[in-house]
A and B are shown apart, each in its own frame.
Chain A
Amino acid sequence: GDSVTQMEGPVTLSEEAFLTINCTYTATGYPSLFWYVQYPGEGLQLLLKATKADDKGSNKGFEATYRKETTSFHLEKGSVQVSDSAVYFCALNPGNNRKLIWGLGTSLAVNP
């Protein structure tokens, strides 16, 4: 069945460091891919998405490129801030189903 695997956390970085959170997926069709973020004490927010191969989603300095050949959707940011401390979830929409398939989340802590 369809699945999402993302790197385990917690990830701890210093401010202005480069961030990569790996996400790979298994899907029988051509899914859409999403990154959601959950800031402390808040609900899930859509961070970015990509709906077809080679699309790049971007928002708030974060980017992720839909790589069909490697079935990946890695999240990157060139220079993290303390305010980026949150839990990041990778998810896929298979298209022929209704529910999102989720990774387990990666906790990021950015220290000043």
Chain B
Amino acid sequence: GAGVSQSPSNKVTEKGKDVELRCDPISGHTALYWYRQSLGQGLEFLIYFQGNSAPDKSGLPSDRFSAERTGGSVSTLTIQRTQQEDSAVYLCASSLLGQGLTDTQYFGPGTRLTVL
């Protein structure tokens, strides 16, 4: 079946502009995650959704970052007033349950964001 998809695959924007990144999880997966991968860094957790609610937003780096999920499916990560340090690959993952030791996260190809 179809995997996790993300769009756009690449986004170049100017400092100060807003951007929206989209994630389509695997059908039927209740949990959705956003991570950020910066050059030379590991993966940084941003936010987790269970259904349409976000029980864990602890990784969002500032109030310029927000995310929503609608219909228990598609999620949008919005970055307002982008800064150069926001440049990174933004990864989305989904999992069936969002709980339990056997739950596995499946990743999308990522969106590469470059802020000039």
Distance in angstroms between the alpha carbons of A34 and B105 in the assembled complex: 10
The CA of A45 and the CA of B110, in the complex, are separated in Å by 12
**Is the pair B104, A98 in contact by a Cβ cutoff of 8 Å?**
no
Report Cα–Cα, A64/B43, bound state, in Å.
Answer: 21
Find chain B residues with CB under 8 A from A43 CB: 91, 107-110
> Once the chains bind, are A45 and B107 in contact (CB under 8 Å)?
yes
Q: Of the 9-residue stretches A14-22, A70-78, A99-107, which lies at the interface with chain B?
A: A99-107
Contacts of B56 in A (CB 8 A): 97-99
Q: CB-CB < 8 A to B65: which residues of A?
A: none
Q: Report, as a range, how many residues of chain B touch the other chain.
A: 20 to 34
Q: Is the pair A98, B33 in contact by a Cβ cutoff of 8 Å?
A: yes
Q: Are B45 and A99 in contact (CB under 8 A)?
A: yes
| Chain A 35-69 per-residue mask, 1 if CB under 8 angstroms from chain B, else 0 | 01000001111100101100000000000000000
A89 at the interface (CB under 8 A from B): yes
A50 to chain B, nearest CB (A): 10
Give, as a whole number of angstroms, the nearest-CB distance from B108 to chain A: 6
Contact of A100 (CB < 8 Å), options: B45, B55, B108: B45
Task: Give the contacts of A76-112 with B (CB-CB under 8 A).
Answer: 89, 93, 95, 97-100, 102-105
Give the segment of B13-21, B66-74, B77-85, B93-101 that binds chain A: B93-101
Given that A43-B107, A43-B110, A89-B42 are contacting pairs, would A98 and B98 also be in contact in the complex, using a CB cutoff of 8 Å?
yes
Q: Answer whether A34 and B42 are a contact pair too, CB < 8 Å, given A43-B110, A98-B55, A98-B98.
A: no
Contact B45 A44 (CB under 8 A): no
28 contacts across the A-B interface (CB closer than 8 A): A30-B101, A31-B101, A34-B104, A36-B107, A43-B91, A43-B107, A43-B108, A44-B107, A45-B107, A46-B105, A46-B106, A49-B104, A51-B101, A51-B102, A52-B101, A89-B42, A89-B43, A93-B103, A95-B100, A98-B48, A98-B99, A99-B33, A99-B56, A100-B33, A100-B43, A102-B43, A103-B42, A104-B41
